[in-house]
Amino acid sequence: MVHGEAWTLKEFFTYPNEYIYWTIQIVMYPFMTGLVAGAFVLSSLYHVFGVTQLKGIARFSLVFSFALLPVAMLPLMLHLQQPQRGIEVMMTPHFTSAIAAFGIVFSTYGMIVASELWFVYRKHFVENALKLREIDDRNLSEHLWHLLYTVLSLGTTDISHEALEADERAVKKLAAAGIPVACFLHGYAGFIFGSVKANALWMTPLMPVIFICSAVVSGIALCILTYIITMEIRKFLAQRRHREHPELPSPDELKSAELHVVTMTTKYLVMFLVAAITLELLDLIFRGYTAMKSWDILRSVIYERDFVNIFVIQYGLGNLLPFIIFLTPGLTIRRALAGTSLVLLGVFMMRWNVVIGGQAFSSSLSGFMHYVLPVWPDSMETYKEGLMGALTVAIVPFCLFYLLNKVMPVFKDTH
Amino acid sequence: MISRRDFCKKSLLVAGGLTIPLSALELFNPARLEAEKTDGKKLRWVFLVDTHKCVGCGFCVKACKTENEVPYDANVTRTWIERYVITKDGKTHIDSPKGGRDGFEDSRIDVGEGTFEEIKNEEINKAFFVPKLCNQCDNPPCVQVCPVGATYQTKDGVVLVDRSWCIGCGYCVMGCPYGVRFFHPVHHVAEKCNFCYHRISQGMQTACVDACPFGARRIGNIRDPNDPVTKVIMTERVNVLKEEYGTTPQVFYLGLTKEVK
Amino acid sequence: MKSHVWRPLYVVLAVIATVLVVRKVLVPPDFGIGSRGYMYGWHRPSNEAEWQKVTVKYRTSEYCKTCHADKYQEIKTSPHASISCENCHGPGLRHPDDPRALNIDRSRELCARCHFRLEYPTSGRGKIRGIDPKTHNPGLDCVTCHWPHDPRKQGHTPAKTAATPPSQNTVSKTSNPCERRGHDIA
């Protein structure tokens, strides 16, 4: 069977070779990079711009951004027909292609985040390495931990006051350098689509900007969401422990701290949401107003075939409803939870409507293609490019976050 | 002390001053101008399709699939034939069942997913067949977007895919406005018409040209003024597909109308 | 002062060095910019030769002529002159070594590629004499009545099987099943 045939339904005239070649993994890819970029921007707001209200969530979002990082690559690897050759993007990059920048930008960004994390957690690494070094009869797990922390401290044990101040300066610089790189990482994901002149829906110079704005929106939303969930777990644990150790923060203290952070962060979320929606609507209005050759078929895709996806789910549930939720006074945790989930849904649907919607019509402009999402995989291909593959991609960052949190505890004050 | 305004002014002046000689270098590079005029080469493959002559027999598609080892029953093909039926109500009906591999032995139009549309003979205003193949564009967008250099244009103008280097990202498939590219069902890399590069390189014609009984397909060298194909392209009213994409396609059509997609 | 601040940079430099080493190993030595520049010519040049070496399967009628000059002459002087041998007989690649390698298509569908009547006024198709296979002797091979190498002559006799076409068209006219039958040829 031809690649793409399993999930493509064709209607009216499409070129014989046309199928939905870019499927749910290519929806996941900008969604995940968007989360990476957004989470990083959120943490930088504190580190660079000194938005102290975000202190509570800054380190959390930095670690989470790092956990998301490898996952931004995963959908691409699942999508490639020859994943074992993926490294060629680094070997023989062809920079006239937007994808060729991926290897370079992605690794640059990865290194910046890793370095920043190193500076943030250096004290923790060194302390642990020294602590474990003092134990004479280390058991296996202690031995491994010691090894890990020693490697992570990169051979330096200087945690004097001056050294830690140098760390903070480095964090600030790296966070500042990271913002443009994070935006570039995601903006170029938009460029990948926006520069395809063969595709009438994708081709617009606004695409990278739209992608960046919605990336920040989704990144912040996911950080809030995950933050709330982890705080709830901590509250639950604190409730049990507080009785035995009264010196630990009480659930009520945690709760007020949580609500404070969430309220502050949603303000930024709403700001970026406004920017994202403005740009998307501008794009839509402009297309309708200029009504180029492709508008006929675009209109029937946007207003008829994908109406529910675009106007009901993306704009209605994903944008308008969260707006109301966030702007109604007296934000509660539960409402924030609902709002951020809806925002994430909205951004995901925006990616879906761009990637799948862009292939919903033939480049002959005379026919339509319909993507039938493979739910239960019956082959490797339908696994990779179906619901299960997408879920795999969605779950991995949380597993990574769990592991990273073991090495770099997010909620422990280190400095 | 230099004021901020002065600083901005001066730095703009310096930047502007620097770019002028640089751009002049780019504008008046005689070697490049010469290269663009003639390319200094004696061979540039082009294709000529006469839509008046095509009868939709599909021998070209059949030959192409066999010659180039594209699995015969796979629903992808390097070349295909489209049928256009324009009815008196102004509607355009287009189909290409199996890419026209088995010809057009049904007067109904295939509208996809097993449904067909009946069209009465007396309703037809015009009806014709249009063979399609890779346009071997002078500015191939598919090559531009390949992230690893697995597809490229040879000096005689043919766009090839390096099967041992393609990562299968599908960006070239999306980048082609003509829908020429697809994934090879066996090799799992990007696949496309290459004007039967193995045949034309040894003085033969493409498999589709040899298979066409009506002379609807011809291949030639646009750099050779005595080439019969060149003569037709130079002296007759030929057209190309989707010129608005700036791809500079090199497959020329006789008898193209606005309905052709 | 030897600052610890540069430690991550050393790691980064080590990573870059590794990539460069791997690149040396993995990238084919001839990979480079071809005649079309970096935008259109960034490739492995040896691939061009690989494509040129692909086996030619359709050998053209000229190739068939070297052995089957009689058949060649017959069809070249007939209204079917422009049809290549290999269109119906299949690619001639392995035929001289293995005569059975040919995959001859005698189906009605093959003839109907051109002779299925389509009333297309603005196309060459409308000018071809055609039939409706549903009503025109359904179930019977076209070659029973029509000699494909020269459609002016008559086809195979029932006595002779389709697998052994007559070397010379000396078929008795009375034995032809569709003789004098009205053809619904347009």
Reported as a single tens digit per residue, the pLDDT across C70-129 is 999 999 999 999 999 999 999 999 898 988 888 889 999 999 999 999 999 889 999 999
Q: Are B19 and B224 in contact (CB under 8 A)?
A: no
d(C-alpha C44, C-alpha C33), whole Å: 8
- Of residues B218, B208, B230, B186, the one with CA closest to residue B59: B208
Full residue range of the structural domain in which residue A145 is found: 5-407
pLDDT at A390 over 90: yes
According to the model, what pLDDT value does residue B2 have?
65
Contacting residues of A for B112, CB less than 8 Å apart: 9-14, 367
d(C-alpha C129, C-alpha C127), whole Å: 6
CB-nearest to C23 from A91, A95, A163 is: A91
Q: Average model confidence (pLDDT) for chain C?
A: 83
Confidence of residue A101 (pLDDT cuts 50, 70, 90): confident
Within 10 angstroms of residue A172's Cβ, the number of other Cβ atoms is: 16
pTM, rounded to two decimals: 0.87
Q: What count of residues does chain B have?
A: 261
Domain definitions of chain B by residue range = 144-191
Confidence of residue A252 (pLDDT cuts 50, 70, 90): confident
**Phi, psi of B125, rounded to the nearest 5 degrees:** -90, -55
Contact C38 A96 (CB under 8 A): yes
In this predicted structure, which of B225-229, C12-16, C166-170 has the lowest mean pLDDT? C166-170
According to the model, what pLDDT value does residue C2 have?
59
CB-nearest to B127 from C54, C87, C120 is: C120
* DSSP symbol at B71: -
* C42 touches A: beta carbon within 8 Å: yes
According to the model, what pLDDT value does residue B7 have?
66
* B257 touches C: beta carbon within 8 Å: no
Q: Three-class SS string for chain A? A: CCCCHHHEEEEECCCCCCCCCCCHHHHHHHHHHHHHHHHHHHHHHHHCCCCHHHHHHHHHHHHHHHHHHHHHHHHHHHHCCCHHHCCHHHHCCCCCCCCHHHHHHHHHHHHHHHHHHHHHHHHHHHHHHHHHHHCCCCCHHHHHHHHHHHHHCCCCCCCCHHHHHHHHHHHHHHHHHHHHHHHHHHHHHHHHHHCCCCCCCCCCCCHHHHHHHHHHHHHHHHHHHHHHHHHHHHHHHHHHHHCCCCCCCCHHHHHHHHHHHHHHHHHHHHHHHHHHHHHHHHHHHHHHHHCCCCHHHHHHHHHHHCHHHHHHHHHHHHHHHHHHHHHCCCCCHHHHHHHHHHHHHHHHHHHHHHHCHHHCECCCCCEEEEECCCCCCCCHHHHHCCHHHHHHHHHHHHHHHHHHHHHCCCCCCCC
Give the residue, B17 or A98, on which the prediction is more confident.
Answer: A98
According to the model, what pLDDT value does residue B16 have?
60
Count of CA atoms in the C-beta half-sphere (13 A) of C183: 14
d(C-alpha B181, C-alpha B143), whole Å: 11
pLDDT at C161 over 50: no
Task: For A114, name the nearest residue in chain C, comparing CA atoms only.
Answer: C8
* Residue at A345: amino acid letter: L
Please report the beta strands in chain B, taking only residues with DSSP state E, as ranges in sequence order.
Answer: 45-50, 80-87, 92-95, 109-110, 116-117, 124-132, 151-153, 159-161, 182-183, 190-191, 217-221, 238-239, 251-254
Give the residue, B42 or A257, on which the prediction is more confident.
Answer: B42
CB-nearest to C51 from B57, B121, B194 is: B194
pLDDT at B25 over 50: no
Q: Are B190 and B161 in contact (CB under 8 A)?
A: yes
Q: Is residue C53 packed enough to be buried (19+ CB in 10 Å), middle (13-18) or exposed (0-12)?
A: exposed
pLDDT at A287 over 80: yes
Interface test with A, best of C4, C22, C46 (most A CBs within 10 A): C4
Q: Are A372 and A359 in contact (CB under 8 A)?
A: no
Interface test with B, best of A82, A207, A385 (most B CBs within 10 A): A82
Provide the terminal-to-terminal Cα distance of chain C, rounded to the nearest Å: 98
Contact A2 B74 (CB under 8 A): yes
* A160 touches B: beta carbon within 8 Å: no
> In the numeric block, which tokens belong to residue C95?
């035929």
**Phi, psi of C82, rounded to the nearest 5 degrees:** -85, -5
pLDDT at B12 over 70: no
Nearest-neighbour CA in chain B from C175: distance (Å): 30
* Residue at A127: amino acid letter: E
Burial readout B78-102 (b: 16 or more C-beta within 10 A, e: otherwise): bbbbbbbbbbeeeebbbbbbbbbbb
Alpha-carbon dihedral angle through residues B168, B170, B176, B178, given to the nearest 10 degrees: 90
Contact B261 A366 (CB under 8 A): yes
> In the numeric block, which tokens belong to residue A131?
């602590």
Which A positions 155-184 lie with beta carbon below 8 A of chain C? 155-156, 158, 163, 166-167, 170
According to the model, what pLDDT value does residue A43 have?
85
Listing DSSP states for C26-55 in one string gives HS-TT-EE-TTHHHHHEE-THHHHHHHTSP
CB-nearest to C113 from B58, B67, B151 is: B58
In this predicted structure, which of A24-38, A139-153, A228-242, B132-146 has the lowest mean pLDDT? A228-242
> In the numeric block, which tokens belong to residue C60?
């053209």
- Of residues A217, A232, A219, the one with CA closest to residue A274: A217
* C23 touches A: beta carbon within 8 Å: yes
Alpha-carbon radius of gyration of chain C: 30
d(C-alpha A247, C-alpha A257), whole Å: 17
> In the numeric block, which tokens belong to residue A111?
């290194």
Contacting residues of A for C29, CB less than 8 Å apart: none
- Of residues A117, A44, A38, A45, the one with CA closest to residue A72: A38
Give the residue, C154 or B149, on which the prediction is more confident.
Answer: B149
pLDDT at C181 over 70: no
Give the residue, A249 or C159, on which the prediction is more confident.
Answer: A249
Question: What subunits touch chain A, counting only 3 or more CB pairs under 8 A?
Answer: B, C
Task: For A96, name the nearest residue in chain B, comparing CA atoms only.
Answer: B144
What percent of chain A clears pLDDT 90, i.e. is strictly above it? 56
From residue A32, alpha-carbon distances to A196, A280, A405, C55 in Å are 21, 20, 20, 45
pLDDT at B113 over 60: yes
According to the model, what pLDDT value does residue B39 have?
56
Give the residue, C50 or A107, on which the prediction is more confident.
Answer: C50
**How does pLDDT run across C101-115, given as a tens digit for each residue?**
888 899 999 999 999
Confidence of residue A10 (pLDDT cuts 50, 70, 90): very high
Which A positions 174-203 lie with beta carbon below 8 A of chain B? 192, 195-199
- Of residues B183, B207, B185, B184, the one with CA closest to residue B195: B207
Interface test with C, best of B153, B163, B217 (most C CBs within 10 A): B153
> In the numeric block, which tokens belong to residue A381?
């291909």
Interface test with C, best of A120, A156, A157 (most C CBs within 10 A): A156
SS3 A365: coil
Query: Which stretch of DSSP H or E encloses residue B173?
Result: helix B171-175
**How does pLDDT run across A153-202, given as a tens digit for each residue?**
888 888 889 999 999 999 999 999 988 888 888 888 889 999 999 999 99
Segment B227-238 shows an average pLDDT of 96
pLDDT at A117 over 50: yes
Q: Which pairing describes strands B124-132 and B116-117: parallel, antiparallel, or unpaired? A: unpaired
Q: Are C66 and C58 in contact (CB under 8 A)?
A: no
**Phi, psi of B166, rounded to the nearest 5 degrees:** -65, 135
Nearest-neighbour CA in chain B from A375: distance (Å): 21
Domain assignment present for residue A338? The answer is yes
Q: What count of residues does chain A have?
A: 415
Contact C40 B103 (CB under 8 A): no
* Displacement of CA A409 from its chain's centroid (Å): 21
- Of residues A315, A332, A233, A328, the one with CA closest to residue A276: A315
Interface test with A, best of B145, B172, B183, B192 (most A CBs within 10 A): B145
Confidence of residue C156 (pLDDT cuts 50, 70, 90): low
- Of residues A406, A41, A75, A35, the one with CA closest to residue A226: A35
Q: Which pairing describes strands B159-161 and B151-153: parallel, antiparallel, or unpaired? A: antiparallel
Segment B122-128 shows an average pLDDT of 95
Which B positions 196-255 lie with beta carbon below 8 A of chain A? 244-246
> In the numeric block, which tokens belong to residue C138?
């359904």
According to the model, what pLDDT value does residue B6 have?
73
**How does pLDDT run across C19-38, given as a tens digit for each residue?**
999 999 999 999 999 889 99
In this predicted structure, which of A293-302, B67-76, B234-243, C166-175 has the lowest mean pLDDT? C166-175
* B65 touches A: beta carbon within 8 Å: no
d(C-alpha A294, C-alpha A292), whole Å: 5
**How does pLDDT run across B63-88, given as a tens digit for each residue?**
999 999 999 999 999 999 999 999 99
- In DSSP terms, B159 is beta-bridged to B153
pLDDT at C137 over 80: yes
d(C-alpha A98, C-alpha A297), whole Å: 27
Domain assignment present for residue A415? The answer is no
pLDDT at C159 over 70: no
Q: Are B189 and B168 in contact (CB under 8 A)?
A: yes
Confidence of residue C160 (pLDDT cuts 50, 70, 90): very low
Give the residue, A324 or A240, on which the prediction is more confident.
Answer: A324
Q: Which residues contact C33 (CB under 8 A, 6 or more apart)?
A: C41, C42
According to the model, what pLDDT value does residue B149 have?
95
Q: Which pairing describes strands B190-191 and B217-221: parallel, antiparallel, or unpaired? A: unpaired
Q: Are B55 and C123 in contact (CB under 8 A)?
A: yes
pLDDT at A216 over 90: no
> In the numeric block, which tokens belong to residue A248?
């630990």
CB-nearest to C120 from B62, B128, B152 is: B128
According to the model, what pLDDT value does residue C173 have?
41
Domain assignment present for residue A68? The answer is yes
Domain assignment present for residue A153? The answer is yes
Contact A13 B96 (CB under 8 A): yes
Question: What subunits touch chain B, counting only 3 or more CB pairs under 8 A?
Answer: A, C
Nearest-neighbour CA in chain C from A102: distance (Å): 15
According to the model, what pLDDT value does residue C157 have?
53
Contacting residues of B for A192, CB less than 8 Å apart: 171
Confidence of residue C178 (pLDDT cuts 50, 70, 90): very low
Count of CA atoms in the C-beta half-sphere (13 A) of C74: 17
- CATH architecture of residue range(s) B144-191: 2-Layer Sandwich (3.30)
Domain assignment present for residue A39? The answer is yes
Domain assignment present for residue A413? The answer is no
Place of tokens 């001066």: B10
- In DSSP terms, C146 is beta-bridged to C154
What is the number of domains present in chain A? 1
According to the model, what pLDDT value does residue B24 have?
47
Q: Are A310 and A302 in contact (CB under 8 A)?
A: yes
The ipTM is: 0.88
CB-nearest to A13 from B94, B171, B244 is: B94
* A307 touches B: beta carbon within 8 Å: no
**How does pLDDT run across C31-70, given as a tens digit for each residue?**
999 889 999 999 999 999 999 999 999 999 999 999 999 9
CB-nearest to B57 from C113, C119, C122 is: C113
Give the residue, B259 or B34, on which the prediction is more confident.
Answer: B259
Task: For C76, name the nearest residue in chain B, comparing CA atoms only.
Answer: B213
Contact A94 B146 (CB under 8 A): yes
For residue A369, give the CATH number of its domain: 1.20.1630.10
pLDDT at A411 over 80: no
Which A positions 358-377 lie with beta carbon below 8 A of chain B? 362-367
Nearest-neighbour CA in chain A from B253: distance (Å): 17
* Residue at A352: amino acid letter: W
- Of residues B172, B201, B195, B199, the one with CA closest to residue B184: B172
Q: What count of residues does chain C have?
A: 186
d(C-alpha A182, C-alpha A254), whole Å: 31
Alpha-carbon radius of gyration of chain B: 23
Domain assignment present for residue A267? The answer is yes
pLDDT at B37 over 70: no
